[in-house]
Amino acid sequence: MNAMMLRLGAMMFLEFFIWGAWFVTLGTFLGQGPLHADGSQIAAAYLSQSIGAILAPFMVGLIADRYCAAQRILAVLQLGGAALLWIVPTMTNFPAFLTLIMLYMVLFMPTLALVNTVAMRHMHDPGKQFPPVRVAGSVGWIVAGLAIAWLSWEQQHRLDLTFRMASIASLVLAMYAFSLPDTPPLKRGSDVSISEMFGLDALKLLKNRSYLVFFLASIAICVPLAFYYNFTNPFLNDIGVRGAAGLQSLGQMSEVLLMLAMPLLLAMLGVKVMLAVSMVAWVLRYVLFAYGNVDTAYWSLVAGIVLHGICYDFFFVAGQIYTDNHAGPRFRSAAQGFITLATYGVGMLIGTYLSGAVVDHFTHGAVRDWRGIWLVPASASLIVLVLFVALFRERTLGAAEVKPLS
């Protein structure tokens, strides 16, 4: 890996360290901490990422593609995020906490598309070069989880410190972003139509039938995904798993191993097979959670977490590469923001609402029926899998074969 790839890898490491440092344990912090949030309130807090993701394509499409270098926008957003993360854990009532975390995610979610844009603009072959760089992001998430487990913040009920750790990392990334290679806009405001001005040019991708099916499947599969993000950590802590955040980092470890093999796997299996396999893994993961326990089926919990590598890489990373190839250089930033809207925006928005309602439905007094809870996203994932396999017709393509529509 050359010097440029190392620089981009450091950017990815910090980006996902920040997210993993507080996001994984958010549900536990809210439920067991001073705010004593119920399932619906926890879901409302996680809803913040969907609000940010919905706004992301407009912010990125309007600014990064037209008016300002992507790395500078990244720096400004991370700087504002650092200030908000430092203040968030000091809130003593849920409405105030929710307001600040919503504001933070409006700043943070566009950075997911921005780091992809910065990385891919400086690669001559994103299909082969992006996965190894993106691996550094998974490593950042792993390091954050292991740090929380090593410091025993869950057992000591000091998860407020996770926000401070993320705040410091966000400040570091903000400073580092100013040193990243220049990623200027490819178009200028004077040459932009009203449609392009608001990032709506990415809608042109939906004229392709196969991409439309992929886009809709991305929305649908993120409905059950919300259950994993929102309630896995509270679930593991509830059933007595020690160092739950550290255990969850096994998911990112499997993600790292698979991501390194992504160029080969994409060329061998093609887009459709990889997306379908990811959905099968989603079904299996939730079934394993439903029947796992600390005493006699701990292996089931571990296996469900390890499957995260297949769930994430085979869908999201393959999808990012698929999107990049279909969009081409002209609409790259808008397209990455657009798929962020579909997944972390619309899909997770629906899933977050449903996950909170489902958890509250299966909660009796202070006891949660986790088996009943996990079988709901398992069933939803199975339905998405069947529909996707039936409707996605594109010829099996390797990474090198996919040609941009533009």
For residue 406, the model assigns a pLDDT of: 31
Residue 34, domain member (yes or no): yes
The radius of gyration of the chain from alpha carbons, rounded to an integer in Å, stands at 20
CB 162 within 8 A of CB 29: yes
* Averaged pLDDT, 268-280: 87
What lies within 8 Å, CB to CB, of 254 at 6+ separation is 306, 307, 308, 309, 310
pLDDT at 200 over 70: no
pLDDT at 399 over 50: no
pLDDT at 404 over 50: no
Residue type, 83: A
What lies within 8 Å, CB to CB, of 97 at 6+ separation is 30, 35, 45, 88, 91
Residue 404, domain member (yes or no): no
pLDDT at 284 over 50: yes
Categorize the per-residue pLDDT at 298 as very low, low, confident or very high, splitting at 50, 70 and 90: very high
CB 114 within 8 A of CB 64: yes
253: three-class secondary structure by DSSP: helix
- 285: domain CATH number is 1.20.1250.20
State the DSSP H helix or E strand holding residue 223, giving kind and residue range, or none if neither.
helix 209-238
Residue 192, domain member (yes or no): no
For residue 76, the model assigns a pLDDT of: 93
pLDDT at 263 over 50: yes
For residue 403, the model assigns a pLDDT of: 39
For residue 311, the model assigns a pLDDT of: 87
Residue 129, domain member (yes or no): yes
Q: Which residue has the higher pLDDT, 318 or 288?
A: 288
Per-residue H/E/C for 347-387: HHHHHHHHHHHHHHHCEECCEECHHHHHHHHHHHHHHHHHH
Residue 399, domain member (yes or no): no
CA distance 98 to 51: 12
Task: Say what the pTM is.
Answer: 0.76
For residue 63, the model assigns a pLDDT of: 65
For residue 194, the model assigns a pLDDT of: 52
The number of C-alpha atoms within 13 Å of 105 and in the hemisphere containing its C-beta is 22
For residue 97, the model assigns a pLDDT of: 95
What lies within 8 Å, CB to CB, of 385 at 6+ separation is 276, 279, 280, 282, 283
Q: Which residue has the higher pLDDT, 206 or 76?
A: 76
For residue 89, the model assigns a pLDDT of: 93
Report the percentage of the chain scoring pLDDT > 90. 41
CB 222 within 8 A of CB 355: no
Q: Name, of 147-151, 165-169, 309-313, 395-399, the range with top average pLDDT.
A: 165-169
- Total domain count for the chain? 1
pLDDT tens digit string along 30-54?
Answer: 988 788 888 889 888 988 888 877 7
Residue 188, domain member (yes or no): no
pLDDT at 191 over 60: no
* Averaged pLDDT, 225-243: 91
pLDDT at 196 over 60: no
Residue 402, domain member (yes or no): no
Residue 403, domain member (yes or no): no
Report the percentage of the chain scoring pLDDT > 70. 87
For residue 13, the model assigns a pLDDT of: 96
pLDDT tens digit string along 329-362?
Answer: 666 666 766 777 778 778 888 998 899 899 999 9
pLDDT at 159 over 90: yes
What lies within 8 Å, CB to CB, of 190 at 6+ separation is none
Task: Write out the residue range of the structural domain in which residue 118 sits.
Answer: 3-179+202-391
pLDDT at 1 over 70: no
